[in-house]
Amino acid sequence: MPDHPGEAIDPRYVGFPELIAEMLVYCSRTQGPRFVTFFDCMYYATMRPSEVAALTRASCYLPGQG
C-alpha cells in the first residue's frame, strides 16, 4: 500500500471487477444476501463500512428502472 499520497497504488491490493463479481457470487452461497449487499456497496459505491452500516431504506432513492 502507498506510504505517501503521491505513490502509485499496487494493483495486487485492488480487486478487479471479475474477481469481485466471483467473490460476491461465492459469498452469496456461503454468507447470505446481507453480506453480499454490504460488500456490493463498499466496492461499487466506494462506501466506507460505517456508511454502509448506517444506510436505511428512507435514506436511499431507488429509481423505478435503470
- Report d(CA 21, CA 24) in Å as an integer: 5
* 59 inside domain: no
**Range of 45's domain?**
13-54
Q: Classify the C-alpha dihedral 9-21-29-31 as positive or negative.
A: positive
* 60 inside domain: no
* 46 inside domain: yes
Q: What pTM was computed for the model?
A: 0.64
Number of domains in the chain: 1
* 23 inside domain: yes
* 47 inside domain: yes
* 22 inside domain: yes
Residue 50 identity = S
In tens digits, the chain (66 residues) has pLDDT values of: 445 666 677 767 778 888 888 988 998 898 888 889 999 899 888 899 999 999 998 888 888 887
* 5 inside domain: no
Q: Which of 66, 10, 47, 58 is nearest to 39 (CA)?
A: 47
- Report d(CA 66, CA 61) in Å as an integer: 12
